[in-house]
Amino acid sequence: MSGTKLLMTFPVTATSHTLADYRARGGYRALEKALNQMKPEEVTREVTASGVLGHGGAAFPVGRKWAVVKLNDGQPHYLCCNADEGEPGTFKDRWILEHDPHLLLESMLIASYALGVRHSFVYIRGEFDLPYRRLAGAVEEAYEAGYFGERILGTDFACDVVVYRGAGSYVCGEASGLITSIEGKKGYPRNRPPRLTVHGLYQRPTVVNNVETLANVAGIIARGADAYKKVGTPKSPGTQLVSISGHINRPGVYEVEYGYPLAKFLYEDCGGILGARALKALIPGGISTKVLTGAEAESLIYDHASFAKAGSSLGSGGMIVIAEGTCMVRLLQVMLRFYHHESCGQCTPCRDGMGWLHRIIDRIVAGEGVPEDIERMQAISRANDGTTICGMGDAAGYATVAILEKFRDEFDYWIAHKRSRCDGRLEVPGHA
């Protein structure tokens, strides 16, 4: 069953998200251990030693990010949990918010302790309803139980948490856009330098971590870094919550141990492709990761190195399964419409480039494409590579280039024949 579990270790019930249930499965003991037995620096060292990587998409070593924050520098530090989960295909942080919110809160308390944070935030996308209510409920339970506020567990440690609701903007899932949104403004991402760990929220040292990333912290402290490293692979310790959707028989959230064979995951754990169709393509980790052909995907091991070697990445773990017969031109059209809609508009390449890409693909789909359009899309993607304020421009470019490269014939066909080679279909018939 997709390997060892670190997070999805209990059956989901009507009460598994409550404080009582969480305590019953050992909750808040890691916090006790951290506050009573460890110094803040020791917590960071343990997290670093575990080798845990970020689970929001960038896979940056968590301990290395934390270590930039200098303790006792006389200024406030902030921790922001990124629960914006806007990357299409991704819905795994939601599992934690709905079913194990206290795990996140305990982990945030431990992280706040390690980082000298007095005020922490969970930035949760505005559209989330149940995840928000569960999280907000857990926050109130935690405050009542004395896990937030002053003198936590009888120590000098004090911490507050604010659940900050977004209002409909994908770029607020970018760490600096998230911070600017918490400041009460438009979610405009920022240039680096300075790093957010030096000048972040209100220009103070700020750590932004994904929900799942933080959710791993309590376990690392409870059971130790060595225990964590025993799971997964040497370069990819631990597990990933994978959200799988699209043309798959059993969509949902699965915890996959790094190193697990992808084909096994798709065909055994998730029940295989709808209508027993062949796997045409796989978007591995949210639409901002490069698409893999079915053949490429089936040979992969689920870990960072394997996917990097294949020219893609694990991303946010948002896997989208694409069955044979799906029109890749229409798929790209949906993606480019999304990027165009979500571009914040600050920087030239993304602002003008996303609109241009969208207009070109719309024109191709309308039967007015020309062969140069493909080169043009590739050039626009190149113009967004490493030239933008945030990663959205690059991501859109990479995603576009990968689809054009691997499914070029479909685009050539549409341009030449003014229609899809696959009847423009995105659904598998009979399985909508």
- Site residues for another protein, 152-191, by CB under 8 A, read 160-162, 164-170, 181-187, 191
Q: Tell me the HSE value of 297 on the side-chain side, using a 13 A CA sphere.
A: 28
Assigned token pair, 293: 């052909």
Smallest distance from the beta carbon of 127 to another protein, in angstroms? 5
Per-residue x/- mask for another protein, residues 393 to 412, rule CB under 8 A?
--------------------
Taking the least distance from each CB to another protein, the nearer of 124 and 231 is 124
Smallest distance from the beta carbon of 98 to another protein, in angstroms? 11
CA nearest to 31, candidates 80, 83, 103, 97: 103
Count residues binding another protein (CB under 8 A).
94
| Residue 338 in the binding site for another protein (CB under 8 A) | yes
Taking the least distance from each CB to another protein, the nearer of 226 and 372 is 372
Among 340, 396, 410, 411, binds another protein (CB under 8 A): 340
Among 100, 106, 342, 410, binds another protein (CB under 8 A): 342
Across 131-170, b (16+ Cβ under 10 Å) vs e yields bbebbbebbebbeeeebbeeebeeeebebebebbebeebb
Interface of this chain with another protein, residues 65 to 94, rule: CB under 8 A: 76, 78, 85-91, 93-94
Burial class (CB in 10 A: 0-12, 13-18, 19+), 345: middle
Smallest distance from the beta carbon of 352 to another protein, in angstroms? 4
With residue 371 as reference, give the H or E element that holds it: none
Interface of this chain with another protein, residues 347 to 366, rule: CB under 8 A: 347-349, 351-356, 359-360, 363
With residue 355 as reference, give the H or E element that holds it: helix 348-365
Burial class (CB in 10 A: 0-12, 13-18, 19+), 406: middle
Smallest distance from the beta carbon of 197 to another protein, in angstroms? 16
Cα 297 from Cα 307, distance rounded (Å): 9
Cα 256 from Cα 232, distance rounded (Å): 9
Per-residue x/- mask for another protein, residues 15 to 54, rule CB under 8 A?
----------------------------------------
| Residue 331 in the binding site for another protein (CB under 8 A) | yes
Among 28, 128, 398, 407, binds another protein (CB under 8 A): 128
Smallest distance from the beta carbon of 259 to another protein, in angstroms? 23
Smallest distance from the beta carbon of 214 to another protein, in angstroms? 17
Smallest distance from the beta carbon of 45 to another protein, in angstroms? 27
Taking the least distance from each CB to another protein, the nearer of 108 and 287 is 287
- Biggest CA-to-CA distance, the chain: 73
Taking the least distance from each CB to another protein, the nearer of 46 and 174 is 174
Assigned token pair, 404: 């054009």
Q: Which residue has the tokens 């600017």?
A: 180
Please choose, out of 18-26, 65-73, 257-265, 382-390, the segment that lies near another protein by the rule CB under 8 A: 382-390
Please choose, out of 19-27, 36-44, 216-224, 330-338, the segment that lies near another protein by the rule CB under 8 A: 330-338
Task: Please tell me what DSSP assigns to residue 85.
Answer: -
Among 34, 262, 279, 335, binds another protein (CB under 8 A): 335
Among 341, 408, 417, 418, binds another protein (CB under 8 A): 341
Cα 131 from Cα 100, distance rounded (Å): 10
Cβ neighbours for 296, distance < 8 A, ≥ 6 positions apart: 282, 310
Cα 121 from Cα 82, distance rounded (Å): 9
SS3 content of the chain, % helix, strand, coil (to 5): 45, 15, 40
| Residue 415 in the binding site for another protein (CB under 8 A) | no
Interface of this chain with another protein, residues 228 to 287, rule: CB under 8 A: 243-247, 251-253, 283, 287
